[in-house]
Amino acid sequence: MITREMWQLIERNTVAFVATVTPEGKPAVSPKGTTVVIDETTIAMGDLRSPGTVRNVTANPAVEINFLDVLSRKAVRLAGTARYVRGTADEFARLLPRFDRWSALSPRLRGILVVDVTSTHLILSPMYDVGAEEDGLRRQWRSFYGS
């Protein structure tokens, strides 16, 4: 189940790395930048330039997706089953308004990958094991990155 903390991390860090398996059985990882959480067990990703990912999930729907917040040193790993909703489908029309925050991109979506999430993991940096707190890590890494 996608917890509140995971949901917030995903919403703040919509770039995800999606792992799929090619029809030839080889691993493939692709970045995706338009992700929304639908509910506690479902996420959706817009298809702007995802022909490989679409081909892969059509052949084998198993996926794993990672979201990383580099400042807090937290990540969310989701696993599940993906399906592709074409831009001509009624379901696409129902899902499309969820992508409104990408107003410049949403009209270009060719389809939407919908992932039924079967497992979730919140991953924390080992720094949390030795007493680090999120606010302190954010300050430290903002300073390091100069922002």
CATH number at residue 95: 2.30.110.10
CA distance 28 to 57: 11
Query: Number of folded domains in the chain?
Result: 1
Query: Are 15 and 32 contacting, i.e. CB atoms less than 8 angstroms apart?
Result: yes
What does the pLDDT look like over 39-69, one tens digit per residue?
Answer: 999 999 999 988 999 999 999 999 999 999 9
Domain of residue 99, residue span: 4-145
What does the pLDDT look like over 73-121, one tens digit per residue?
Answer: 999 999 999 999 999 999 999 999 999 988 898 888 999 999 999 999 9
Give 49's DSSP letter.
S
Specify the pTM.
0.90
> CB neighbours of 18 closer than 8 A, spacing ≥ 6?
29, 30, 31, 32, 45, 53, 63, 64, 65, 113
